[in-house]
Chains A and B, each alone.
Chain A
């Protein structure tokens, strides 16, 4: 979406990612999503009187890894207390990095060639989680809230971009690329729907090359769809406002996905006075060169590099294949694809199965051996399994693991012998003489028609490629 009358949007994003550590940021409680309420809590993360925080080494290393992937400078840093009262925050302050963050500066290059600068990526702790009773289950209108502190103290990294983003599509591309980096570094599982990635967007508008306008911050955008819609809505709102002679007020706004609009949450005047000061219970952090080198040595290749490596192996870069490449890189599924290509699987098939079947069950990929993935695809390619059967076998492998041959046998997938396929095709040629004539005269689209008919007759047991081979042989 472009703005009318020469208006341009200026967007900066703050992306909060939960870190995939075994324990919380300052205590040994398990960092686990979805456990029973208030079972992963201790004196420290409940903020009990007398308790003290101790930094999780792994959280620091993951933060450094993110910074390295974003070309940041790893800097000596400190922790501050951000003071405000809120029931889901056990100490009534959040430990966060303030003027001296662990990662300073940097940039992220997007697949379209644009570059978004990174201002900082700092460590902080998450809060507990409230559920609201009465009303509609939302905070407004509720008469009572319940708090679970399992999430309290989970380590977060907040990545703050420069105001370099100029469209909602670019904002989306930035988040997708960043998510790929977070997954690659092992810092995050990148799951927005579970809240492990949360985004605030700073949006302003201006006439091209004019100074930046007043910005509004939109809080808690929890899906890529919300992110894009909210930014577009907010930019348009600001343009309308200015064109009607109004001025944009600096404020924090809330995005309502159902209504499709942002609304005022807090004006600048109502902003909290956080009374930041150095956290006296923690000491400074200054990772020396050898610690940094150790972390850097463990960094796997980042999405940009993996994307070009994968693209280089594709002979026919048609749009559907390139889209699949994006999905595969974003979700870190490319090792499966490379393994399949090494074994001689067609790129289009390998990418399609990874971008659809594997992407549909990311948890399952931990149970899936690369060899089993390759074997399944080779069976499909050779016509030993139909596409539908191959997908079913993959689903089983993702659910429970195992050997694809055993699964195929167990499911009773008799391969359709070329003999019986040949007679089926011969029968269909007789049944549909007009279609056969057109196909024979070069109308390739008719191949699809015959495949469909074969599938119908064989109840999906045939392999599309084998059918085409059979048709070609008779042409």
Chain B
């Protein structure tokens, strides 16, 4: 399948049309969606309208954006005006937002064609897309395996060649982990680089939107299109989108990189081997690589599994049956709210709401939530110390390749542990990228993670590009 870069170039030159590219995407969706359960909703009508608008503009000789005619899959926690948006939850079934997320507006402005909404773990809570109320998504590379999560549907859309690019959200690894498990590039941008307006919040201080793509260049193009200050998001960084595409081929000559022990400890041997080979490739390309231990990373999981549920318990309070979505009828409003929430939320969502409510409740706040926020401070300080020595960090994205369905569903703690390498960056609010490098068990892809300070996306993309070339995708 063509990359987004190719599609946009050909649409602009007239070698293809947005409509032709859309038709190809739609037929790929028709072919495999039933088997893989990638899209929860395909907005064929809206997509055709967007595609023909692009084609008309090309015909009139008007300038079209960097994603002209590129079909894009949207994780179903992004609001799109008039298009069903469910967060893979019964509680939002049938809801159509009356507004666009900023990211959707920016994609449209860049010429992209939103094709539909992809499956996810309910409210983005999970690492396998098994927690969707509408059934799990299968990994296109091996349908007995999970695609990862929570952006599993978005990852699968690209991996199954349904769309060249997809948008996901990453709260504790939810872009990078499925990217790794599906053999894709996934970026968790610096907190505030991409507006969260219109992203249905899981954990507000951790959530970031980012791209899932086949190539590093496509990731740069998409990120450049969706990044930059948004007055609708108070936590949005004040500056316009950084220049990224121009830096993709910058290489790593003279860069200092640290292999972090805590980002490979406990990983499967084939994963560790891939990281080692990636280190060798970076050295080969002119970087200096040292080894480093950052013990604070070990506490990330604990802090994360208090902070994220605490914020989520409050963010998800609004789903009460009063204004939109599901309502289960009862005689008084409290009983109605309780019945609605009990029927509307799945087990994992309830588990995290319970955990977060507990962590914030009187008598436990200081011991749990308050303590977790201090650990977060320690995490940020530890990153800062590391970045005084090196330009970026390297490690594994996930401890293993894509796992079998059901292998971790009965043990929440085991599932939570699959996020152990990705969580530290969410806590610090800094940038990270996962790039495919080598394969492991059953020939499945392995993801290598590069981490950098806030606003280091250009650096990380250049590093990932070096690995992409070394892995045989020039």
Contact = CB atoms under 8 A, between A and B. Distances in A.
Do chains A and B make direct contact within the complex (CB under 8 angstroms)? yes
Interface stretch (A52-60, A189-197, A240-248): A52-60
Given A273-B361, A275-B361, A49 B197 contact: no
Interface string B343-360: 000000000000001001
Contacts of A53: 234
Interface in B349-403: 357, 360-362, 365, 369
A277 B320 contact: no
Given A50-B79, A52-B197, A92 B311 contact: no
Given A85-B317, A90-B318, A91-B317, A277 B310 contact: yes
Residues of A contacting B: mostly:
loop
Contact of B314 (A55, A87, A93): A93
Interface stretch (B97-105, B180-188, B265-273, B274-282): B97-105
Interface stretch (A97-105, A280-288, A429-437, A465-473): A280-288
A46 interface: yes
Contact of A275 (B95, B322, B360): B360
B199 interface: yes
A83 B360 contact: yes
Contacts of A91: 317-318
Contact of B311 (A43, A273, A280): A280
A93 B97 CA distance: 21
A299 to B, nearest CB: 27
B101 A50 contact: yes
A147 interface: yes
Contacts of A49: 79, 85, 87, 92, 95, 97, 200-201, 318-319
A46 to B, nearest CB: 6
B98 A48 contact: yes
B98 A87 contact: no
B416 interface: no
Contact of A50 (B198, B319, B360): B198
Nearest to A53: B234
B232 interface: yes
Interface string B56-96: 00000000000000000000011100000101000010010
B44 interface: no
A47 interface: yes
Given A47-B323, A93-B317, A54 B232 contact: yes
Interface in A55-108: 55, 81, 83, 85, 87, 90-93
B334 interface: yes
A418 interface: no
Contacts of A145: 333
Interface in B189-238: 196-201, 203-205, 231-235
B98 A273 contact: no
Interface residues on A, range: 20 to 34
A202 to B, nearest CB: 21
A51 interface: yes
B81 to A, nearest CB: 11
A287 to B, nearest CB: 16
Contacts of A283: 234-235
A147 B235 CA distance: 31
Given A52-B232, A54-B234, A47 B201 contact: no
B98 A50 contact: no
B337 interface: yes
B197 A87 contact: no
A145 B78 CA distance: 32
Contacts of B95: 49
Given A81-B314, A277-B360, A55 B322 contact: no
A273 B233 CA distance: 29
B324 interface: yes
A43 B231 CA distance: 15
B232 A85 contact: no
Contacts of A276: 360
Contacts of B199: 50
A422 to B, nearest CB: 74
A50 B201 contact: yes
A53 B313 CA distance: 18
Interface string A259-275: 00000000000000101
A85 B200 CA distance: 19
A87 B322 contact: yes
Given A83-B360, A275-B360, A52 B234 contact: yes
Contacts of B322: 87, 147
Interface string B289-323: 00000000000000000000011011001111011
B98 A55 contact: no
Nearest to A88: B322
A49 B231 CA distance: 18
Given A52-B234, A54-B231, A85-B337, A277 B197 contact: no
B230 to A, nearest CB: 9
30 contacts: A47-B318, A47-B323, A48-B98, A48-B323, A48-B324, A49-B79, A49-B95, A50-B77, A50-B97, A50-B99, A50-B198, A51-B99, A51-B198, A81-B314, A87-B337, A90-B318, A91-B317, A91-B318, A92-B318, A93-B317, A145-B333, A275-B360, A275-B362, A277-B365, A277-B369, A280-B311, A281-B235, A282-B235, A283-B234, A283-B235
Given A50-B99, A50-B198, A280-B204, 20 more contacts: A43-B97, A48-B97, A48-B323, A49-B95, A49-B318, A50-B97, A50-B199, A52-B233, A54-B231, A83-B313, A83-B360, A85-B334, A85-B337, A87-B320, A87-B333, A91-B317, A93-B314, A147-B322, A280-B235, A281-B201
Interface of A: 43, 46-55, 81, 83, 85, 87, 90-93, 145, 147, 273, 275-277, 280-283
